[in-house]
Structure 1
Amino acid sequence: MKSLILYYSQCVTGNTEKIAKKIAAGLRTGGNTCDLIKLTKYSRDLEIVRSTDFKAYDLIGIGVPVYYFHPPYHILDLLHEFPRLDGLRVFLFCTSGGNPGSTLYQMKVILDQKGLKIIDGYDRWIGHDVHQMYSRRGGHLESSDGHPTIEELEEAEKFGENLIKKVEDPNTPEKTDFWDKESSSAKMWTFEGIQKWFPEFNLVEERCTSCGKCAEICPVDAIVLDPYPRWVKDCDRCYICELKCPEGAIVCDWGPQCDYIEDLMAKRKARKGA
């Protein structure tokens, strides 16, 4: 059996990459092969999609981190560019800080249009959740510390092994029970919503050395050097440019978002104690 896993994983934590590699290890048992392709930039990834012979594979896997209860929006754009692949089997997976929302369902809706048959999906692997919204909590979601755990990685490898059985069984049904409901936060954080609600990018020029790191790691090429970084289009609002700037030259005001998270956490704690 020959399989392919396409995955996007942030350069901050690499959660999704860890899971993808373990699933691949499971898929390689019994002499089977599994190719891994890491998605990095939309322009490059688009060429990969257009040049890959997907029909040479028995199974395709697609994995993503969760952005604000959604898949990264540039990955959704990429899925729209897939060719028709009637009957080809596919599985989906994601990593999140705890609540994946309807991430896999949103991917499924697009892939259904391409004729793909989704035979499995998993959205309960927890990844270490680092984000500036948690600045008052040490910069990360405490409940995600230490994830993915050894047990979760072992589970991912077993997931890969079980996929072999599902591909070999001609009667494996299509998976249709993905969670499709949106929370109030998810409804607020649509692509248009995150452009309005999340902070603007501010550059402190006296700190900036025009090293180009921010432009290099931006997955949607939203940053150009002119000669300093300049944001030229709306993006996924991952804010990795701010996190990874070696000089701390990109500064965003996270006050309102931190207030929102603290209020949300307080309400959840109150509900649990009720």
Structure 2
Amino acid sequence: MRSLSARLSTLITTAGMCVLSTTALAADLTVSAAASLTNAFNDIAKAYQQQYPQDKVRLNFGASGSLLQQIQNGAPVDVFASADQQTMDQAQAKNLVRAADRVNFVNNTLVLITPKNSTLNIRNMKDLQQASIHHIALGNPAYTPAGRYAQAAMEQAKVWSKVQPKIVNVNNVRQALDYVANQSTEAGFVFGTDAAIMPDKVQVAATIPTTKAISYPIARTINTKEPAAANRFIGFVRSAKGQQILKRYGFQSVR
């Protein structure tokens, strides 16, 4: 029969190995995500950390194109979630993410909004040509997906050249939302999920059709130092729990 001291030694060694194992699994994860994901990803990060308490998630939000530039310039990012395919295509072309690592995880809609108390008769994009409309908030199409979707839709409706002088380019879709909510502009283009978080300050004048579905891709970056944790986070976003949180904020399941 083993001595008490031998058994204690084994228990201490086993406990030490468990601590080392837990420490080895711990990760400090940086997730850069489109501004329209702010509320949903804040909740997802909290739920993720409850399930994986060894991991710490740091969130960085902004226009998808701006986030891409940060990654390209060497920002230490482990997971990138874009509001459009074009930006993720660029990330892939620049060898910042791999095609095999990207996956679409949610869809959205584009909407035209006005202040809640607006008395202007705006029901479609052609109505933006009215003389009473002086300013239209729009994420800069150069790096903001919502802005690109809106510009393409206005070009298709043949109103872009007429309303372009009224456009107020802003940094991201949430800033466009704020401009309309604060009545700094008479109208603006945002995603449906953005309008849904301020129902007391903005109203949806029209849902804008787009030629392609507004699908959001997510991928771990090539330079991540936490590939296992990055995969865990992406898996959580796609899980029933993650999708439930996204649905609560108005996002649509990928078809």
TM range (shorter): 0.3 to 0.5
- For the pair shown, the structure with the greater C-alpha radius of gyration is 2
More strand as a share of residues: 2
TM-score (norm 2): 0.35
The structure showing larger relative contact order (alpha-carbon pairs under 8 Å, at least 6 residues apart) is 2
More helix as a share of residues: 2
